[in-house]
């Protein structure tokens, strides 16, 4: 399995959108955005897709995206990130014990990938999660990421229902934890507050730390 393909063009609509974006913004990344962080993570964070002026521009997940504000702040608070703010791919920030990826690696028009695009890109998430040992905690940001994780683990969507703060046992002793996506829309509507988000990250951290002890690390 290929964990990441930097020149992937399997989704014609997304490839065309990237090409058009590159023509308008030559300094933008405008390519599939690779996972970022520790290659052997205890906490594995899965988002939806890069934002056009965020990760699609910077080339690093949740970097430059509004959705990354709360995420990196929480990761820093709980000891996963060396800095509370991610502004560029070369800002020196490192993740220690954590890794961030997206269900769809390319920026979609209107921030909405199609079901077919999500399914096509799932091969990469499958490779990323393959072999993750017992005790690994997967934090899904939003329902689409939740379902993508299930698919990557060869599970049907009916296996586990998404719910903010919900926890699900996965095959191989791994744990899936859900949170609403830290998007601007969820923030502005009050569906998700920073304290709600922080509590879920705190819980995911506690589970991951416990898993680390059980793994003997």
Residues 163-217 pLDDT 10s: 999 999 999 999 999 999 999 999 999 999 999 999 999 999 999 999 765 554 4
The candidate with the shortest Cα–Cα distance to 120, out of 15, 45, 35, 36, is 15
CA distance 181 to 187: 9
- What pLDDT shows up at residue 151? 98
Inter-helix orientation angle 194-214/68-77, to 10°? 50
- What pLDDT shows up at residue 1? 63
Q: Tell which CATH classification among 2.60.120.200, 3.40.30.10, 3.40.470.10, 3.30.420.40 matches the domain 12-214.
A: 3.40.470.10
The candidate with the shortest Cα–Cα distance to 93, out of 70, 74, 108, 72, is 72
Mean pLDDT score, 134-143: 97
pTM surpassing 0.75?
Answer: yes
| Token pair for 199 | 């509590």
Run of H or E residues at 189: helix 184-189
Residues 81-98 pLDDT 10s: 999 999 999 999 999 999
Run of H or E residues at 137: strand 137-141
């Amino acid at each position: 399995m290929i964990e990441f393909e930097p020149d992937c063009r399997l989704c014609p609509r997304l490839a065309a959108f990237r090409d058009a974006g590159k023509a308008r913004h030559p300094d933008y990344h405008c390519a599939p955005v690779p996972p970022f962080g520790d290659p052997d993570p205890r906490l594995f964070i899965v988002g939806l897709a890069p934002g056009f002026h965020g990760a699609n521009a910077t080339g690093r997940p949740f970097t430059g995206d509004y959705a990354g504000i709360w995420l990196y702040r929480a990761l820093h608070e709980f000891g996963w990130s060396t800095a509370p703010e991610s502004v560029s791919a070369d800002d020196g920030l490192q993740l220690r014990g954590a890794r961030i990826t997206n269900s769809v690696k390319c920026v979609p028009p209107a921030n909405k990938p199609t079901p077919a695009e999500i399914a096509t890109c799932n091969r990469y998430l499958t490779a990323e999660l393959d072999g993750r040992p017992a005790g690994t905690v997967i934090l899904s940001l939003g329902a689409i990421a939740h379902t993508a994780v299930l698919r990557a683990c060869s599970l049907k969507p009916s296996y586990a229902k998404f719910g903010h703060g919900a926890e699900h046992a996965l095959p191989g002793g791994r744990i899936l934890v859900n949170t609403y996506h830290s998007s601007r829309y969820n923030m502005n509507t009050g569906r998700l507050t920073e304290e709600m988000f922080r509590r879920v990250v705190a819980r995911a951290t506690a589970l991951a730390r416990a898993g680390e002890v059980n793994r003997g690390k």
